[in-house]
């Protein structure tokens, strides 16, 4: 296969994946031009998480509250991807450069070029689904077990999530960050690693997040925590305490109407057209009723008292 053909298929693959998913923390695909190897996404003015952690273009640093919310939103969208009934979707290249931020610093996960659909048998856990493939991605965020065996699983995303969580805490570079944080935790000096630009981190929460991140970064995927039952249970109350609200209640049977800005404009237009047809239908039925009433009155015209018609008119 030529390079051009491969790029063409990559664009089509991303279009196929993104066009079938809707989540507040997934980037919205607006359009695509496979011939030019181009995807068109919604405009996100705050760039990537990588840009914000490095304060690119002298942008203000992210507060610790915003960082906790970003971590919770990233966890939420990963649970969504991993929890499909037919197949799990593993992103495979989680890193701050692929986490984009809108005008309100809401997380938007992007770049599904190397994601994989993992089919699993009925009754099996999503975490047991495996795809064997050549290791791709960004080395510092890649699951060591994936690197050594070529087996990609949802727990591979959990490892990358752990590295990102450590970067949110410290703003340090990813290479060697796990050993650095573990060393300072053992010494009781975690405060010296926390990013001072984020503000005054509540130490109890910071320490809890550091331990959680290191569990996510375990060398063996069997020892990494489950995102829904363990990681989300820690992050969701933290997010709530920071003033963040959830658009979805994970594990709940209830469904909530998302804000209009989370809905594709085409669907909004479709909804408006549908509403217009409903209004026209009501008007049409009212006109039919009036015509029927006029018909009945016509039949009774010669037997009804004149004052009846004057009252109706």
Q: Which residue matches tokens 């496979």?
A: 34
Lowest mean pLDDT among 13-22, 186-195, 221-230: 13-22
93 is catalytic: yes
More confident of the two residues 135 and 70: 70
Is residue 79 pLDDT above 90, yes or no?
yes
User: Stretch 250-255: mean pLDDT, rounded?
Assistant: 41
Is residue 33 classed as helix, strand or coil in its secondary structure?
strand
Q: Considering Cα of 215, then 216, then 219, then 224, what sign does the dihedral take?
A: positive
What's the pLDDT tens digit per position in 203-222? 999 999 999 999 999 999 99
**pTM of the complete model:** 0.74
The one catalytic residue among 16, 51, 57, 93: 93
Look at residue 151 in the predicted model and tell me its pLDDT.
87
- Residues 169 and 213: their CA atoms lie apart, in Å, by 10
pLDDT > 90 fraction of the chain, expressed in percent and rounded: 48
Calpha distance 88→152 (Å, rounded): 11
Token pair of 223, please? 């020892």
pLDDT of residue 306: 52
In tens, the pLDDT along 23-41 reads 899 988 887 777 776 778 8
Mean pLDDT over each residue of the chain, to the nearest integer = 79
């Amino acid at each position: 296969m030529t390079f051009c053909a491969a790029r063409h298929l990559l664009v089509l693959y991303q279009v196929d994946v993104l066009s079938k998913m809707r989540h507040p923390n997934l980037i919205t695909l607006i359009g695509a031009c496979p011939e030019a190897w181009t995807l068109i996404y919604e405009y996100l003015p705050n760039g990537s998480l990588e840009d914000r952690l490095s304060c690119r273009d002298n942008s203000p640093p992210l507060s610790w509250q915003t960082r906790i919310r970003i971590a919770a939103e990233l966890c939420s969208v990963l649970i969504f991807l991993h929890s499909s009934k037919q197949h799990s979707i593993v992103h495979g290249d989680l890193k701050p450069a692929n986490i984009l931020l809108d005008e309100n610093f809401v997380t938007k996960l992007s770049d599904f070029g190397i994601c994989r659909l993992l089919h699993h048998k009925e009754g099996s856990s999503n975490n047991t689904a495996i795809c064997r493939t050549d290791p791709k991605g960004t080395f510092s965020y890649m699951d060591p077990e994936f690197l050594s065996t070529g087996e990609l699983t949802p727990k591979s995303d959990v490892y990358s999530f752990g590295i990102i969580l450590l970067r949110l805490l410290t703003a340090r570079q990813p290479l060697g960050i796990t050993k650095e944080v573990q060393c300072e935790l053992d010494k009781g000096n975690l405060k010296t690693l926390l990013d001072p630009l984020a503000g005054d981190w509540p130490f109890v929460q910071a320490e809890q997040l550091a331990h959680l991140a290191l569990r996510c970064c375990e060398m063996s995927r069997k020892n990494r925590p489950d995102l829904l039952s363990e990681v989300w249970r820690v992050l969701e109350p933290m997010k709530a305490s920071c003033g963040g609200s959830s658009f979805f209640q994970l594990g709940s049977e209830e469904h909530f109407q998302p804000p209009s800005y989370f809905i594709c404009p085409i669907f909004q237009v479709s909804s408006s057209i549908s509403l217009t047809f409903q209004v026209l239908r009501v008007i049409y039925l009212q006109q039919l009723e009036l015509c029927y009433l006029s018909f009945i009155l016509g039949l009774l015209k010669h037997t009804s008292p004149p004052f009846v018609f004057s009252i109706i008119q």
